[in-house]
Structure 1
Amino acid sequence: MEATKQAITISSTIQQPAAKVWEFWNAPEHITQWCAASDDWHAPKASSDLRPGGAFSTTMAAKDGSFSFDFGGIFDVVEPHSRIEYTLGDGRKVKINFTEANGQTEVVETFDPEDTNPEDMQRAGWQAILDNFKKYAESK
């Protein structure tokens, strides 16, 4: 019998109020500025219908044009400035909580791991994207 995989959690504290963090996290014009795990990748296209039942998609691509993929799914829960839950195209679940205190916002992301890459690699990749988000959001 195969063991059930544990969800992976990553987090970061952003030096911005929740309303700003929410905007930078969800608006396609911002997503394309931060959604990459390393400098040799980028997000040339993003769309988001931010409501329960709405779809989102972000194209993630190597800057040299060698590889790209779409990361997308359907929003299940949207609580403005507070919480997002969605289901990825492959059925995995993701939960994101935004908690503001003293003008800063903690972002906690919990996601079901996929079966292709080791969990430590997945954690590192998602954390790198979150770290890139933090850098972008704090520069605004």
Structure 2
Amino acid sequence: MIFREVENELETTNNAKVTVKATIQAPVDKVWEFWTEPVHITKWNQASEDWHTTRAENDLRAGGKFSSRMEAKDGSFGFDFGGTYDEVKLNESIAYTLGDGRKVNITFKSQDNETEIIETFDAETMNPIEMQQQGWQAILDNFKKYAEQTTM
């Protein structure tokens, strides 16, 4: 991996992939619904308590688009996150391409009354890989907490 300083920002010049995982104590049909339905996405999709997702839209099918708006609760910063689905297999996997061309693959592994989510994404070049991994893991951990504490 090669790092270089670019206008005070760290840029990586490789095509690193990052993986985050969590095991949710819930059946896959509940996990899938909470992961994909906008009414649920807006409740868990943030890396920390000082952020929130103000809106989410999801056309869950190959060729369908999704988007969400993530903002700091104090209004100091916000950004849109979105892309296009490449493949959707109900209760099994989701693959999509982000607006900047990076790929994301999510696998839902069901066993008894729990579901493991494995998310692998292409790292971006503006932030250190460790920061990206921590941010995506924090969002996944928030999902786990929400899904385990919320009834259908």
TM-score normalised by the chain length of structure 1: 0.97
Partner of 2:135: 125
Confirm whether residue 37 of structure 1 aligns to residue 40 of structure 2.
Answer: no
Distance 1:16 1:92 in 2: 30
Verify: 1:21 aligned to 2:17, yes or no.
no
2:36 is the alignment partner of 1:10: no
Quick check: 1:73 aligned with 2:64? no
Structure-2 residue corresponding to 1:60 = 70
Rounded Cα–Cα distance in structure 2 between residues aligned with 1:59 and 1:20: 23
Name the SS for the 1:51 alignment partner: coil
Alpha-carbon shift at residue 5 of structure 1 (Å): 2.4
Percent of aligned pairs with the same amino acid: 58
Task: Return the match for 1:91 from 73, 83, 101.
Answer: 101
Q: Which residue does the alignment assign to 1:47?
A: 57
Q: In the alignment, what sits opposite 1:103?
A: 113
- 1:74 & 1:58 partners in 2: Cα distance? 12
Following superposition, the deviation at residue 102 of structure 1 comes to 1.6
Which one has the largest radius of gyration? 2
Which amino acid is 1:109 matched to? E
Structure 1 unaligned blocks of 5 or more: none
C-alpha root-mean-square deviation of aligned residues, in Å? 0.9
Distance 1:4 1:66 in 2: 31
1:82 matches 2:98: no
Secondary structure of 2:14's match? coil
Query: 1:4, CA displacement in angstroms?
Result: 2.9
1:93-129 CA distance string (max 9 Å, x none): 0000000002100000000000000000000000000
Report the TM-score, using the length of structure 2 for normalisation.
0.90
Q: Which amino acid aligns with 2:54?
A: P
